[in-house]
Structure 1
Amino acid sequence: MTSLSKTQMIRLGLLAGGVGLLAGVAAAVMLWSMQRASALVWSVGDSSWYILAVAMAGGVLIGVTRHFGATDSVDEQIAALRDPIHIHRRKALLVGLAAVIAVAFGGAVGPEAGLLAVVAELTAAIAIFLRRSHADARIIGEAGAAGALSGFYGSPLGGAAYADDKPEAPRALLLLAGLCGLLGFLLAGRLLLAGGFHRIALPDYAQPGDGSDLLLAVVPALLGAAVGVAFLFALPAMKGLVQRFVPQAFWQPVVGGVAFGLLAALLPILRFSGHHEIGTMLEWAAAAGMATLLLLGLLKVLAAVLCLSTGWLGGAIFPLIFSGAAAGASVLAVAPGIHPSVAIAAGMSGAATAGLGRPIAAVLIMLFVVDSSLFGPICVGALCGYAGSLIAPKPEAH
């Protein structure tokens, strides 16, 4: 972008900050609606037959939205936000509805798609109402994405970096939008969201100060990176199979719902994004063997792949964080001398970085997900994950 005068920067800063604040509030409201819908769906029970029935019903409902045009991934929505004036309103609403259904009906996906769909509507309305130029409209769209993702991840730096690696807006404006987005999300979340959403509670950890934790983090980081790389190879392969054997847009999420439902009925912990299920996983991880935990991590990858490849819209970061946590924790079965938090944080960072292909964004997000005392193991995981992503198909942000 060309250099801007001080007056222009102030004007754009006010615009980006205001849009980011509104996007953060909108993200919190959308997340609340997803949580309410999910609570309603699962209030009946969680028996195996009900899990399968819910997944099948979710697939049918998502199929209806796809029949009418809801086909965007998270990557495509971020790209669309660069030109918010031309966002198709009806399609954005359908994408948002499909994302709510995917989350509410237990899909192994994060809620990012729904949040961005709402922000797309918001930024388009702002750009049109203010009658901004095309360049300003792009900045509005990028600020909206940065604000929503920064609020959701609890990381202004991470959200801004993830929202767009080649932005039209100066990065300072995206950071400002991210900070305002986090503020808006926290203010609205305090009123709407029950309990903390971002933090993952791990056993208390004190850094040894001698660098030994970095060496001990290598193996769990490699295992976490491995499940992330498995995701990168499995997703395009599964998409190819789905396109070949189920070319109709309506039937893809239906078939995905059946396949995912059967898997989740056998192992209910595979439902949802995985963020809130890590605690449950850690409770029985102490008695599980290495192979069992590695299998759990791979099965979570499979669950996410089944959903994402068949049109269950959402993000992959939190499913990968769960997979990485299981892979990292598996080391504890054969090397109990490693601190559990070191192994788990390194595994989570390795898987998330491999899935994103953006080590800086992954580290910044992870620092707000777990305690900052685990910065070293997180960086080790990010290095391993990024190395793994270089040998795998290009990551997508779903």
Structure 2
Amino acid sequence: MAQDSTRQAPTAPSTPARALLPLILPALAVGVLASLLLLLVSGAAEQLQGVLWGNLPDALGVGRYSVLWMLAMLTSTGILVGLVVWKAPGHAGPDPATTGLDAPVLPPVVLPGLVVATALMLAGGPSLGPENPIIAVNVAVAFWLGRRLVPRMPGPVWPVLAEAATIGALFGTPVAAALLISEALAGRGTKGPLWDSVFAPLVAAAAGSMTTTLVAEPSFDLHLPPFGHPGWTDLLAALVIASVSALLGMCAVRALPYVHGAFSRLGHPMLALPAGGLVLGLLAALGGQLTLFKGLEEVGELAADPDRWSAGQLATMTVVKLAALLVAASCGFRGGRIFPAVFIGSALGLTAHALVPGVHPAVGVATGVLGLLLAITRQGWVSLFVAAVLVSSPTILALLCIASLPAWLLVTGRPQMQLRDDGTAVR
């Protein structure tokens, strides 16, 4: 009887290796393809950005980031994207306010319009990143090619591989993809060993990240002053900044249905998108050129000299960028919310450093980004990962884990920054 009482419950059997081996080559192919598509769209957008914000204003004798040019460019971007959304087959995909990282499989006819709308958005200056539309494109391409070239593989495998590959390519490491997939599997109550479930997606993410690393050499390290061993003041700063950042992000989350509804009432993309572009131009005039674009290069400029900016300037950029993210996500621009959230959280953390010099810049940036991403994405592991890689300091991980706890209590169970088709917030 004693032996029976100590007997462990049976565990789910592991997947045999012969079932995992056939997944390796398709996963590698999806990883490389996803990375190349991301690099192609991003590269084209960067070239166009150089023309729109460099060659063209120089030829016209207008300041590159003058108020006049920012208003003209962002409004024009709204007009061009509006034309694509209006006239392109499939209208460049679903309303971006209703989509997240978990993308639906779109018909192939929708993809050209979505790619063009994304490239125009990235080049034109709205405060959104490439992640959501690029994931949607890669999911559709992988699904439709995979079903035709390898018909024996189950159809649901391809979207998972494409999502993992794109996330690996975006961040230049498969770790973010592994964390995101693990979190999703835990939410679904998937049975069986975790590593069996993430094996193929991790292969795809590794292939995507290595392709991006070899071709583009991305880096998220902001090269902030090195952070030593954390002390009690660092712990207090981390708890406060992460919580304030999460509350700030929740302000945008709460406002999304109302701002989205206001633009929706305009009734046509050729009204909503130009109007959104005009509002973004006015915000850029208030916040300056660093509040334009997806924010990754701009946050590097902020972090290059944390003491260059006053607390007022940093606070202004924080609020303006948050408002720009809210407007861009509401009026119909195709893009994701992670990269601008990184800028907002970093600016908020540097604001804390400017107000209280005893707050280490690395602590401020990492915990500011952590709180914003928890509110915006509701992805705990990815938020921790992104916050950690920005400062490249192993000693800050403990602070981030502790700071995530009160921030998570502030955001969990509340509306997310994603809407249903009827305009109500997802919970």
Cα distance in structure 2, aligned partners of 1:70 and 1:264? 26
Asked whether the 8 Å contact 1:363–1:379 carries over to 2, the reply is yes
Asked whether the 8 Å contact 1:109–1:316 carries over to 2, the reply is yes
Match of 1:354 in 2: 375
Match of 1:60 in 2: 79
Cα distance in structure 1, aligned partners of 2:118 and 2:377? 20
Q: Which one of the candidate residues 404, 410, 425 is aligned to 1:382?
A: 404
Match of 2:416 in 1: 394
CA deviations on 1:200-255 (whole Å, 9 max, x unpaired) are 232222224x56532331222222222221221122221122223x1213321111
Q: CA deviation at 1:259?
A: 0.7
Asked whether the 8 Å contact 2:227–2:393 carries over to 1, the reply is no
Match of 1:128 in 2: 147
Match of 2:167 in 1: 149
Cα distance in structure 2, aligned partners of 1:138 and 1:391? 28
Match of 1:372 in 2: 393
CA deviations on 1:126-164 (whole Å, 9 max, x unpaired) are 21331425x622212211111111111233131344468
Match of 2:284 in 1: 264
Q: Which one of the candidate residues 309, 318, 321 is aligned to 1:297?
A: 318
| Structure of higher CA gyration radius | 2
Q: CA deviation at 1:287?
A: 6.1
Cα distance in structure 1, aligned partners of 2:297 and 2:257? 27
Asked whether the 8 Å contact 1:228–1:385 carries over to 2, the reply is no
Gaps of 5+ in 2: 1-11, 58-63, 191-195, 421-427
Q: What percentage of aligned pairs have identical amino acids?
A: 24
Amino acid at match of 1:248: H
Asked whether the 8 Å contact 1:96–1:113 carries over to 2, the reply is no
Asked whether the 8 Å contact 2:366–2:391 carries over to 1, the reply is yes
Match of 1:203 in 2: 225
Match of 1:20 in 2: 31
Q: Which one of the candidate residues 181, 192, 213 is aligned to 2:208?
A: 181
Match of 1:34 in 2: 45
Q: Which one of the candidate residues 165, 174, 197 is aligned to 1:170?
A: 197
Q: CA deviation at 1:91?
A: 0.8
TM-score (structure 2 length as normaliser):
0.81
Range with greater deviation from structure 2 (290-299 or 234-243): 290-299
Cα distance in structure 2, aligned partners of 1:256 and 1:32? 25
- Match runs of 1:295-374 below 5 Å: 295-373=316-394, 374=396
TM-score (structure 1 length as normaliser):
0.87
CA deviations on 1:274-324 (whole Å, 9 max, x unpaired) are 211124435776365545533321211100111110111111112111111
Amino acid at match of 2:215: A
CA deviations on 1:29-78 (whole Å, 9 max, x unpaired) are 32222211211211122221111111111101111121131143387475
Query: What is the aligned-residue RMSD (CA, Å)?
Result: 2.8
Amino acid at match of 1:363: L
Cα distance in structure 2, aligned partners of 1:199 and 1:47? 30
Asked whether the 8 Å contact 2:103–2:132 carries over to 1, the reply is no
Match of 1:102 in 2: 121
Cα distance in structure 2, aligned partners of 1:380 and 1:106? 35
Match of 2:423 in 1: none
Q: CA deviation at 1:3?
A: 7.0
Asked whether the 8 Å contact 2:167–2:177 carries over to 1, the reply is yes
Asked whether the 8 Å contact 1:355–1:389 carries over to 2, the reply is no
Cα distance in structure 1, aligned partners of 2:270 and 2:361? 44
Asked whether the 8 Å contact 2:127–2:340 carries over to 1, the reply is yes
Asked whether the 8 Å contact 1:162–1:361 carries over to 2, the reply is yes
Range with greater deviation from structure 2 (197-206 or 136-145): 197-206
Cα distance in structure 2, aligned partners of 1:77 and 1:283? 31
Match of 1:249 in 2: 269
Match of 1:193 in 2: none
Amino acid at match of 1:22: L
Match of 2:6 in 1: none
Q: After TM superposition, which residue ranges in structure 1, 4 or more long, deviate above 6 angstroms?
A: none
Amino acid at match of 1:205: F
